[in-house]
Amino acid sequence: MEEPGGLHESAEDLFHFNVGGWHFSVPRSKLAQFPDSLLWKEASALTSSENQRLFIDRDGSTFRHVHYYLYTSKLSFSSCAELNLLYEQALGLQLMPLLQVFMTRPLWDSWTHRCWTQKRKCTTASYPSTWWPSTQA
């Protein structure tokens, strides 16, 4: 998969992930920006003889959004269902900066409006209560 922004790193500077049959490469420098994440902890523990390849038992289609976030620090998704799946992956991978994005009220407000505009049932009941305190809902 081509990296967003067209950045190319040498082969030894890349970590390769097989996520549910989807293949992704992430430069060491990008992954190192998330030192508390499960991705960094597992990848940085690899030796050069292990060819820096990891299998992650997650949904590859949803992981493409995590991959985009690792490169850009921005979210990209197209549906309410993907939003929930992306949250679950961020939680499982311990990507705290991405989880903090989910905790911001503007994200929720914009997606609630978008989902209702598209006539989808996208309500607070369908999202984890940990996004923000219920008193703000």
Q: What is the pLDDT of residue 20?
A: 92
Q: Can you list the domains of the chain with their CATH numbers? A: 14-121 (3.30.710.10)
Q: What is the pLDDT of residue 93?
A: 93
The whole-number mean pLDDT for each consecutive block of 10 residues of the chain, a chain of 137 residues, reads 48 84 93 93 78 85 92 79 84 90 69 56 43 38
Alpha carbon 41 to chain centroid distance? 16
Q: Record the tokens describing residue 76, joined without a space.
A: 């990209």
Q: What is the pLDDT of residue 120?
A: 47
The model's pLDDT over 83-109, given as tens digits with 9 standing for 90+, comes to 778 888 999 999 999 888 877 766 666
Of residues 67, 58, 51, the one with CA closest to residue 1: 67
